[in-house]
Amino acid sequence: MATNFWESSHGRHWLLHRSSVLQARCKDLKYITDRELLKLGLHYSNYLLRLGKKLGVRQQVMATASVYFKRFFIKNAFRNTDPPLVVATCMYLACKIEECPQHIKNVVTEMRNLVHETRIDGPFPYETFNLAEFEFYLMEDLDFYMIIYHPYRPLTQYLKLLGIEKSCIQAAWFIVNDTYRTDALLIYPPHMIALTAILMSCVMNEEHIKQEKPHLDLRAWFADLNINMEEIACITQEILDLWQVWDEYDETQVSSILRKLRAPQPQQLSRH
């Protein structure tokens, strides 16, 4: 199921070691905590989702835009960029790549409306030419590798093999959606994320699975796949950590996090 993935630019160039991801956050972590950075990520993930809904695009387009956003911030710090511009440009580019293009003016208008509605990030002063210009910088930071492999296809294939689509598809799909708010797609191949979602959804829906597939031996099935269960455990923990932060997340916290992030450095203050 994952053969083509390993031959792709995603598999060859954009699976990162966790240490590289952590190193990329160093600039921002001088000003805010890990937890605050995760909350900031939740805020802009919500922007991507809401912008996608305003534009009426498919889930896969929003997922692709989310991966672009995550990849961009491997090479850039939140402190040194304007994330709403990045959100809008990621969505605009994802719409092109996923073959459901949106007029650039619509993207700019809907993003401006969204920023105005939330009243957190300040104004969205950009016009279409700003987005068009930033699109090139975005593609450059993506190394011009823009084809993304998502967990959705292996998810449905594995569930069909197991014969538990009815019991698990909805919960597993929601779990996969949540992984786009984590770093999982930067570190792990999509089929491993799909398998993690299946395992977690099976635990959550154990009674329904017993009714749908009473003789299913999930432990034996996973053993036959000969996969790294430590990776499954790491992805699971990443999702659980996200849910824990999400439970305490309040959008009103974001303004204070942004103020801390953008505070002048001591040497900047001393010049005045």
Residues whose CB is less than 8 angstroms from the CB of residue 215 and which lie 6 or more positions away in sequence, other chains included:
none
Q: How confident is the model at residue 265 (pLDDT cuts 50, 70, 90)?
A: low
Q: What is the CATH number of domain 14-141?
A: 1.10.472.10
pLDDT tens digits, residue range 207-264? 777 777 777 788 888 888 889 999 999 999 999 999 999 999 998 899 999 999 988 7
Q: 116-120, 174-178, 222-226: which has the minimum mean pLDDT?
A: 222-226
CA distance 192 to 244: 22
Query: Which residue is listed with tokens 């019991």?
Result: 167
SS3 assignment, position 250 = coil
pLDDT at 23 over 90: yes
Whole-number pLDDT of residue 267: 55
pLDDT at 14 over 80: yes
Whole-number pLDDT of residue 237: 97
What mean pLDDT is predicted for residues 47-57? 97
Q: What is the third-level CATH fold of 152-248?
A: Cyclin A; domain 1 (1.10.472)
What mean pLDDT is predicted for residues 72-101? 96
Do 14-141 and 152-248 share a fold? yes
Q: How confident is the model at residue 70 (pLDDT cuts 50, 70, 90)?
A: very high
Closest CA to 181 of 37, 45, 1, 25: 45
pLDDT at 1 over 50: no
Whole-number pLDDT of residue 30: 94
Q: How confident is the model at residue 145 (pLDDT cuts 50, 70, 90)?
A: very high
CA distance 59 to 54: 12
Percent of the chain with pLDDT over 90: 78
What mean pLDDT is predicted for residues 74-91? 96
pTM: 0.92
Whole-number pLDDT of residue 207: 77
Whole-number pLDDT of residue 269: 41
Q: What is the DSSP string of 135-154?
A: HHHHHHHTTT------SHHH
pLDDT at 272 over 70: no
Helices (H), 76-189: 83-97, 104-118, 128-141, 152-162, 165-179, 184-187
Whole-number pLDDT of residue 226: 85
Query: Residue ranges of the domains in the chain?
Result: 14-141, 152-248
Q: How confident is the model at residue 271 (pLDDT cuts 50, 70, 90)?
A: very low
Q: How confident is the model at residue 74 (pLDDT cuts 50, 70, 90)?
A: very high
